[in-house]
Structure 1
Amino acid sequence: MTSISASTTLRGTSLALALAVLLTGCQGGSDTSADATSPFSATATATATPTDDPTSDASEEPSDDATATPTPTPSPSPSAPSTPVAAGYAAGEIPPVPLITIPDLSMLDASLSGFTHEITELVGDYPGLTIAPASCDASGTVREGAGNVLLYGDGSGVYTGPDGTTVNYGDGSGTYVIDGVSVTVYGDGSGVYSSDTVSVANYGDGAGVYSDETVSLSVYGDGSGTRTDETGTITNYGDGSGVYTGEDGVTINNYGDGSGIYTDGLITIQNDGQGTALVNGVPVDAEPLPPVPRMGVFPPMGTIEPIASCGTTITLSDAALFDFGKHTLRPESQQTLDSLAAALAETGAPVLQIGGHTDSISDDAFNQTLSEDRAQAVADGLVERGVTATLETTGYGETQPVAPETTADGADNPAGRQLNRRVEIFVPAF
């Protein structure tokens, strides 16, 4: 009986407890909060957004209805470690279209320095004797073998150099060929320059075309242009937009409004110019692209200066003065020296520079001595004929030829060697 009473009591207690739990659950059915120990509560904690109510219990979560709200899409992140990037740039950044640089065109002006020449009538016409204006450098030193010039008195003239001719029209325009360079200048900043490796057409308004062994460049004078070299082609449209196509497969398009596209075969970046870019289709934050800077212009070409004077060079062939390999004046040279001395005395030149020159036959030492002795022989002959100017003599040996001594195929050139064997008298302008 006692055991039955205990069992009955236990069952009664269990039923009471179960009833109490059931009643409690029914009372909470109208509440928006679930017990923290509920299995539904764990699901809500993982997916729901925290309540904005600062008085809510931290152990409470939204009801099951709240878990049905879709999870918001995460904001784009430029630092996502899985986002591919262009080498050297952050996620979503597009490298700039390279700038178009204009090559150094200083040669356009450096090549146009005026020649300083003058013709002065000193003597008559004698075999083996020529008179021509002298060309001098900035220091006033005569340029040996620079050529001859014919002046017309109005600033115009024709200069014939070792490898070409200069025509100066006196208005800043002209044309010449020197040291393998051909230049035509129109006097208004435009012109054409051509050498073995460089070609330039300058239109004088900032536009022009340049090409060398590695670069081709077109400049349109309005900030736009195109350049092609071994790395690729750049096109600048002058309005902030531009395109680069590289030999390595890289293509960059900048549309000038902040948007653009980059591709290198592995990555494609599309910038919408509004703060977002798609990297292989994945959105990331990205600043709009800056515009492509406008490119520069061609500098105008200079002008050929009027031909000025630095003096006169009188050249005497060795055949008119000496026997081959000798420095004693021949009898036939006497009349030439008589006329020359009279003309020099008439000019009143205070200083005369006399230089001896040889060809390259024989050794250097012999040629040096021969050139010195020949220069001194002419000086002595002029002094004997009454020339009172200070005579400065110099022997140059074979170091200053005015003509090639071999032909293009390497054969001997006797005519060239003949021109190199000479004595020159420089009469400075004063």
Structure 2
Amino acid sequence: MVLGRVSRRALLVGGWSVLGVPVLAACLGRESKGKKGGGSAASGGAGSGSAGASASASGSAGASGGSGQGVTRTVSTVGATLKVTVGPAVVSNDVMVVPLAVHLDKAGSSSPSSSGFGLDLVWNGTDRYTGADGVRLVDFDAGTVQETFKASSESTLLMDKEPDVTLHALFKPVDASTINVLVPESGLFEGVPVVRDGKLSEDAKKALEDVYDTESTPDPVALETFTASVDGASDTRVTGKSVTITLASDVLFDSDSADLSAQADTTLKKAADQLSTYPGGQVTIVGHTDDVADDAHNQDLSQRRAQAVSDRLGQLASMSAYSVSVSGKGESEPRVPNDSDENRQLNRRVEITLVPTQESSTKSPTGTSKDADKGSGKGGGDLPKAEGPVA
């Protein structure tokens, strides 16, 4: 994760995000039917990352691997240091098995060394399965993410006396020679080779004998991007259909005021620049408040704040290509519950939503060339250069 004055970025799908690629916090909680598959094709998996975990790749490149070999990275997560090797993936009939071999270099601080380190702390947080069901396949060119095809329960405990374990992530086969494998709190393992000879290891065969049906589909789902300024002034969510820019009212306005502050232009100029990357479309600007004061007051304040933002955007950039509507929602649509000062601050905001008439041919929503993105094979996965401290 890049911690600079510019921004931090996440790739989103459903409820999970990849903060500052390649770190993952997978939280696609899925309900299990509790039915053993006995090796038959199931319809999904479940997984979530540990909320308190973080990961960092060691070395200049972060990962290594070659044709026909797995990709290896040393990571630190929940106080433990792990050597993780992903792949090669093997396609066998209706499943693609991705092995994840893990070696414990240093036990985690979250549990005593006598009891070992459980990978389920970071690779699966649903308490339903113990395997590597939080792993995902990421296709930046197609802009999609694929969930595990089956859920397998495997031992995840690493100890000083038994420092090695191999888990298996089970996916629907893909038509590719290499894949990008996103491992919770461990990073993005790019270029993992795919072998189609169907020759599974004994461990992989055993994993396929102990699988469970779930309620999710293994089909790829759309990859979204989320960019947030570190100071909390704004964030942007980009989906296949719309762009939503959320501006913090505490940055734009003084308390209980609809007059733009002296600092507002910095944030509004960035919003105007983002809108200018599209040739046109429908723009809605909506003001929101917290639950302090009465409904009528908050409704009026939110309307006036939204109008102030709209007026200033029109001065900072040409809005002639956009159909603009302005409204206020008062306290009726909180972003989070109004149960703390921090949450009320998040609810005081102005949201700008753009539905483009067509995709920009020259720039992506982050201001980079789409042709360059395609050539890099990373799509929206690149981070802006940090101006402040990084970690």
Calculate the TM-score normalised by the size of structure 1. Answer: 0.34
Q: Which has the larger radius of gyration?
A: 1
Larger relative contact order, structure 1 or 2 (CA cutoff 8 Å, min sep 6): 2
Of Structure 1 and Structure 2, which has the larger fraction of its residues in strand?
Answer: 2
